[in-house]
Amino acid sequence: MSVNWALPFEEKLIPPGYEGKVVPPSVYQAVHKVLTDNYKEYWESVAKELEWFKPWEKVLDDSRPPFYKWFVGGELNLSYLAVDRHAKSWRKNKAAIIWEGEPIEDGKPKEVRVLTYGDLYREVNRVAYMMRHVLGLKKGDTIAIYMPMVPELPIVMLAAARLGVIFTVIFSGFSAQALADRINDSKAKVLFTADGSWRRGKVVPLKEIADKALESTPSVQKVVVLRRIGNNVNMVSGRDYYFDELLKDVPQNVYVEPERVKSEDPLFILYTSGTTGKPKGIVHDTGGYATILHATMKYVFDVRDTDVYWCTADIGWITGHSYIVFGPLLEGVTEVMYEGAMDYPEPDRWAAIAERYGVTILYTSPTAIRMFMRYGESWVTKHNLRSVRIMHSVGEPINPEAFRWFLKVVNPNAVFGSTWWMTETGGIMISHAPGFLLVPMKPGTNGPPMPGVDADVLNDQGNPVKDRERGYLVIRKPWPGMPLTIWGDDERYVKTYWSKFQGVFYPGDFAVKDEDGYFWILGRADEVIKVAGHRLGTYELESALIQHKAVAEAAVVGIPDPVKGEVPVAMVVLKQGYHPSEELKRELNSWVREQVGPIASFADIKFVTKLPKTRSGKIMRRVIKAVLTNAPLGDLTTLEDETSVEEIKRAYEELRKEIS
Ligand code: PRX
């Protein structure tokens, strides 16, 4: 858990201009209670605002908990909802995506592409046609997508959704090994990738990485390669095809009828890290997912047709799936999509983009904000960002200082919140909701749960804690957008999320609730770490380390970092014959980056002769963390339940001696 700042429970902020519109928290709580008590009716009313090919027969099938099914009997198609509906309306020539590539020339972006809803409709249909008729894909097949942040990425996702083809997007910063693991688990038949992507002025050789992965992915029959960079890449005859070549003969105006997908049919799988084992393939449905996205786009982002919306996430993560691809397009908004690093080539790249397109809604991360803060406010204030009326952050807790700073330098008149949710929830669960009922802001809080979301904070015994007391966040009632399961592993789904407390969903976070009903998510209660908002399992990093020939044992913990929130530190026990050295540290660091990807960079690697363990052999990561952060040990006793206090103390002292 990384939060080590005071929580300003009592500080209430009302943005100028909102004085008459803000409601007291008690009013919000009363309305929330009515809607949440009647959650099925509430969610049904939201779902009715979408267009269904066939209405549902039952709002919620809860006959086999926790395998809930929403809007059973209903049929819809997300590609139809996100594209056709708008292309057939006055929005046909409205900009859907304003895309900016990373390279800069003569002080200006070298490439800007604007795709209207009409353009999107044409391209999605053509790619869907190519998928069906050239690649032979059909409903229920799975494909993997390893692509950069270019418009073809959402187009491929929408085309797959059109056919009912289940897709899994793998973040383009992941390594060959991580890519192969995800392809193999999902049994993807086709891989969509690119010749490369731009990152900080350098080419990331995506196809080269994919080729390495493809050495051990027997399910993949065909590989489609987008020419993003135009460099020469290895193309395997009979397996690899260029995207443009496959599309060459597809007519411009081809129409592929959207499949009538069942509400509970899977839309995508997204892999995410957990406490143990390999990454879990979280499976999302179609109808429930569409419903939570519609509710949150309306309430959290308050989108209107005049807005210019920008979510700075990468599509490889859930934030990009929900709030770059499906959410904003469902609502027919104009959105900005940017390919590269937010601070490249100068620290104000992001602010220049926001100013250039007149962004009105900005969704970003605490890590990005803290990075901007380090560069200094003049990089922000030289741009006019007063167009921004709503901002939200996501991915990790935001410290009050960063919150106050960002609000001041971007636009003190804006609404600013921190939306809590996760890969598993599909959409935002706890957040300020300016499009519904806005309550006063407090720097660092997540605000109250969304309507229909029944959140609580429990102690170890499963009883609600008092206000301002720390406990475990839980969600009591099912919600649309919840996972169907973990791909191929129902048992693990039940065990991970539904077993800690009987009958309620356990996300794995610590939280406190205050007297206004606001939640403050404090960080992970398990061994997941959030590095710059990216979710990494300590287990993944440890298993990469122990695959190195010099390593006998390894333990990884996250320690607080002023910019990235948390960073991983490794404790390594070497095999006989190997000796600690700076060179070995560097080697281990690059080894793990290669195995997992560049997001897996250790802040430090410490060589020790043994790791603190419980009697049953479990590594006491919390002891390691306490030593590294000089945390008081008293805090640990309840957390290390299998171990005696004496044992923990001894392990702590031993480790401290060794490290110092
Ligand atoms: O610990 C919480 C943190 O991110 C975790 C989920 O990570 P992921 O599945 O990668 O999804 C991130 C983007 C939705 C949560 O368990 N988290 C996410 N948003 C917040 C947050 N912690 C505090 N405040 C937030 N706004």
- 220 near 190, Cβ under 8 Å? yes
Q: How far does residue 514's CA lie from ligand 1's centre (Å)? A: 19
Q: Is the pLDDT of residue 5 over 70?
A: no
Please report, rounded to a whole number, the percentage of residues in the chain having pLDDT higher than 90. Answer: 87
Q: Is the pLDDT of residue 529 over 70?
A: yes
Please confirm whether the linkage preceding 109 is cis (ω < 30° from 0): no
Nearest to 151 by CA among 210, 214, 101: 101
Residue nearest to atom 22 of ligand 1 (CA): 396
For the chain, domain boundaries = 534-659
Across the range 109-121, mean pLDDT stands at: 98
Q: How far does residue 530's CA lie from ligand 1's centre (Å)? A: 8
Q: What would the pLDDT profile of 302-335 be if each residue is shown by its tens digit?
A: 999 999 999 999 999 999 999 999 999 999 999 9
- Give CA–CA dist 368/380, Å, rounded: 13
Q: What would the pLDDT profile of 125-179 be if each residue is shown by its tens digit?
A: 999 999 999 999 999 999 999 999 999 999 999 999 999 999 999 999 999 999 9
Q: How far does residue 119's CA lie from ligand 1's centre (Å)? A: 34
Q: Is the pLDDT of residue 274 over 80?
A: no
Pocket test for ligand 1, best of 420, 475, 520 (most atoms within 8 A of CB): 420
Q: How far does residue 268's CA lie from ligand 1's centre (Å)? A: 19
Across the range 98-106, mean pLDDT stands at: 97
Q: What is the pLDDT of residue 620?
A: 83
- Give CA–CA dist 568/396, Å, rounded: 15
Residue nearest to atom 14 of ligand 1 (CA): 422
Closest ligand 1 atom to Cα of 393? 26
Q: What is the pLDDT of residue 612?
A: 85
- Give CA–CA dist 126/439, Å, rounded: 45
Sheet holding 471-475, edge to edge: 455-458, 471-475, 509-513, 519-524
Burial readout 591-624 (b: 16 or more C-beta within 10 A, e: otherwise): bbbbbbbebbebbebbbbeebbbbeeeebbbbbb
Beta-strand (E) ranges in 297-438? 308-311, 334-338, 361-364, 390-394, 415-419
Q: How far does residue 354's CA lie from ligand 1's centre (Å)? A: 24
Q: What is the pLDDT of residue 279?
A: 86
Please confirm whether the linkage preceding 66 is cis (ω < 30° from 0): yes
Closest ligand 1 atom to Cα of 507? 16
Q: How far does residue 395's CA lie from ligand 1's centre (Å)? A: 4
Q: Is the pLDDT of residue 277 over 90?
A: no
Pocket test for ligand 1, best of 319, 394, 513 (most atoms within 8 A of CB): 394
Q: What would the pLDDT profile of 203-249 be if each residue is shown by its tens digit?
A: 999 999 999 999 999 999 999 999 999 999 999 999 999 999 999 99
Q: What is the pLDDT of residue 514?
A: 97
Q: Is the pLDDT of residue 192 over 90?
A: yes
Q: How far does residue 226's CA lie from ligand 1's centre (Å)? A: 31
Q: How far does residue 50's CA lie from ligand 1's centre (Å)? A: 27
Residue nearest to atom 11 of ligand 1 (CA): 422
Burial class (CB in 10 A: 0-12, 13-18, 19+), 220: buried
Q: What would the pLDDT profile of 467-526 be if each residue is shown by its tens digit?
A: 999 999 999 999 999 999 999 999 999 999 999 999 999 999 999 999 999 999 999 988
Residue nearest to atom 5 of ligand 1 (CA): 422
Residues 6 or more apart whose Cβ sits within 8 Å of residue 231: 195, 196, 203
Across the range 577-592, mean pLDDT stands at: 96
Closest ligand 1 atom to Cα of 428? 14
Q: What is the pLDDT of residue 273?
A: 84
Closest ligand 1 atom to Cα of 430? 26
Q: What is the pLDDT of residue 640?
A: 44
- Give CA–CA dist 575/107, Å, rounded: 53
- 252 near 239, Cβ under 8 Å? no
Confidence class for position 75, pLDDT limits 50, 70, 90:
very high
The third-level CATH classification (topology) of the domain covering 534-659 is GMP Synthetase; Chain A, domain 3 (3.30.300)
Q: How far does residue 441's CA lie from ligand 1's centre (Å)? A: 19
Closest ligand 1 atom to Cα of 524? 1
Closest ligand 1 atom to Cα of 317? 10
Pocket test for ligand 1, best of 321, 470, 535, 599 (most atoms within 8 A of CB): 535
Q: How far does residue 614's CA lie from ligand 1's centre (Å)? A: 29
Q: Is the pLDDT of residue 580 over 90?
A: yes
Out of 143-157, 254-268, 522-536, which region has the weakest mean confidence (pLDDT)? Answer: 522-536
Q: What is the pLDDT of residue 643?
A: 58
Across the range 601-630, mean pLDDT stands at: 86
Out of 219-228, 271-280, 424-433, which region has the weakest mean confidence (pLDDT)? Answer: 271-280
- Give CA–CA dist 535/273, Å, rounded: 6
Q: What is the pLDDT of residue 117?
A: 98
- 455 near 430, Cβ under 8 Å? yes
DSSP code per residue over 512-529: EE-TTS-EEEEEESSSEE
Q: Ligand 1: residues within 6 Å at CB?
A: 272, 317-319, 394-397, 418-423, 446, 507-509, 521, 523-524, 530, 535
Question: How many alpha carbons fall within 13 Å on the CB side of residue 337?
Answer: 27
- Give CA–CA dist 124/128, Å, rounded: 6
Q: Is the pLDDT of residue 614 over 90?
A: no
Q: What would the pLDDT profile of 345-358 be if each residue is shown by its tens digit?
A: 999 999 999 999 99
Q: How far does residue 270's CA lie from ligand 1's centre (Å)? A: 15
Residues 109, 115, 121, CA angle at the centre, nearest 5°? 160
- 66 near 97, Cβ under 8 Å? no
- 118 near 92, Cβ under 8 Å? yes
- 206 near 193, Cβ under 8 Å? yes
| 3-class SS of residue 64 | coil
Confidence class for position 638, pLDDT limits 50, 70, 90:
very low
Residues 6 or more apart whose Cβ sits within 8 Å of residue 594: 175, 177
Q: What is the pLDDT of residue 119?
A: 98
Q: Is the pLDDT of residue 637 over 60?
A: no
Which sign does the torsion angle of CA 542, 548, 553, 557 carry? negative
Q: What is the pLDDT of residue 610?
A: 87
Q: What is the pLDDT of residue 539?
A: 86
Residue nearest to atom 23 of ligand 1 (CA): 397
Pocket test for ligand 1, best of 289, 422, 506 (most atoms within 8 A of CB): 422
Confidence class for position 641, pLDDT limits 50, 70, 90:
very low
Closest ligand 1 atom to Cα of 421? 14
Across the range 637-650, mean pLDDT stands at: 59
- 100 near 353, Cβ under 8 Å? yes
Q: What is the pLDDT of residue 2?
A: 46
Pocket test for ligand 1, best of 530, 534, 599 (most atoms within 8 A of CB): 530
Across the range 369-380, mean pLDDT stands at: 97
User: Would you tell me how many other CB atoms lie within 10 Å of the CB of residue 72?
Assistant: 17
DSSP code per residue over 249-312: TS-TT---PPP-EETTS--EEEEE--SSSSPEEEEE-SHHHHHHHHHHHHHTS---TT-EEEE-
One-letter amino acid at 33 equals: K
Residue nearest to atom 8 of ligand 1 (CA): 422
